Structure 1
């Protein structure tokens, strides 16, 4: 690395990021060990560390020959994430799904004891789900509601729905929280939620979660189909498209451990 043929400025940038990566892998490390790991001279390693220390990215453990990262990188990363727009990110992924299967795609989240639609891309078919951004629907009869509640424990679900009346929108709608909780166990295992004509007759929906950088489910992406156009043989394809979208949005939000 000392004899890199790259321009000096580029070589220096590479050295800085190699040092940062090495420090990120270990809580603290000495100059000698770090220089050996990166195959840089001890003098060069020390010079870079002192500069990074002056800039606040590295701290020295007392007078010891040990260095560690500060939280300044985390601070910078957090500021970058503040400018990430969930709807813009989701729109890109939702458009990909819409282009492939031409059905209505929603982005929704929990608001109090309901789901609320944050964004949508309509199907071009005349027969499609009628909804609007800002509209609310029940948690217990929607795929978005189920997949988001599946990340809660039983008592959280019970508390959330304590004052909710379970209305029988169709013959398939859950009648009480106990019925719903049984299904949430399955949703939790399979990592997607379904509405099989529970909210509206003749309508099916599938939804997957979107996670923030802390791994908390902050929204869900769903696809809605009239039952006459839902192809059971393509169900796994639909789910895979949704999971790809959910994973991509989550990663842009800073979460890299999507479960599927």
Structure 2
């Protein structure tokens, strides 16, 4: 297991995954057998096991003192699979909206105090929003960001934004957490969010939430339209498209209490 010429950090990672693989193959194992199997000293094996135990990935039986994996790895894997399913499901809905509008569609989620784009369908127009999958944007100046915050309490938002510097990307960018909380309350009431040239001059964005089976907002789906093509009278129509998409995706993820999409009549 231990390899020469490996940087210490890389060597530690190899040892951790070696322990995980060994514990996955054998339901319970004692520290002596585990150390011999991995060709590591008992003291080193013990040190790693205690750290993994503190993090919740490993447990030790009181009677036998043998070690085994907890379900935390399963939980982590399930979250990853949730996003794989989410992208596939969202792509169907986003493709439908793209055919009807020819505008840019994004799927984004929260990562710390920023949003990260998980999926994108480009506009068919030459004039379009520049973005890419994996790109990050501030949570306070994006429609998807506001939608994601609408699933948090005021206290949670305050804590999340505590170390965030509000950068004025445009004259319309929100300036502080107090303004953001007011905006998020509006989002909760109307069940969609807007970025009216707050992140990028000349660009309007609208977003609706996506829920997981537990009723937690895990993502947002948005449409981005240059202001020269945006017609205010079409706002209800666009919101309706996004909310229907959010509802369909959420239902396929197991959530069936999505608020009714706005009426466009």
Between the aligned partners of 2:243 and 2:154, the Cα distance in structure 1 is: 25
- 5+ residue gaps, structure 2: 1-77, 261-265
**What is the CA distance between 1:243 and its match in structure 2?**
0.6
Measure how far apart 1:200 and its partner are.
0.3
TM superposition shift of 1:227: 0.3
Q: Considering only CA atoms, is the larger Rg found in Structure 1 or Structure 2?
A: 1
CA distance in 2 between partners of 1:113 and 1:217 (Å):
15
Query: 2:198 matched to which residue of 1?
Result: 198
Alpha-carbon distance in 1 for matches of 2:187, 2:218:
16
What residue in structure 2 maps to residue 236 of structure 1? 236
- Compute the TM-score of the two structures, normalised by the length of structure 2: 0.67
User: What residue number does 1:211 align with?
Assistant: 211
In the alignment, what sits opposite 1:38?
none
User: Which residue in 2 is equivalent to 1:131?
Assistant: 131
How many angstroms apart in 2 are the aligned matches of 1:104 and 1:95? 10
The 4+ residue runs of structure 1 with deviation greater than 6 A are 81-84
Give 1:84 deviation, angstroms.
Answer: 7.0
Alpha-carbon distance between aligned partners in 2 of 1:216 and 1:155, rounded to the nearest angstrom:
17
SS at match of 1:155: helix
How many residues are matched? Answer: 181
Q: CA deviation at 1:83?
A: 10
Residue matched to 2:247: 247
1:84·1:253 contact (CA, 8 Å) conserved in 2?
no
SS class of match (1:222): strand
1:73-84 paired onto structure 2 within 5 Å: none
Q: CA, structure 1 residues 172+214, in 2 after alignment: closer, same or farther (shift >3 Å)? A: same
Aligned-pair CA distance for 1:82 = 6.4
**Within-5 A mapping of 1:5-154:** 85-154=85-154
Q: Matched residues in 1 for 2:138 and 2:83: separation?
A: 31
The C-alpha deviation readout for 1:159-190, integer Å capped at 9, x for no partner, is 11111100000000011111111111111100
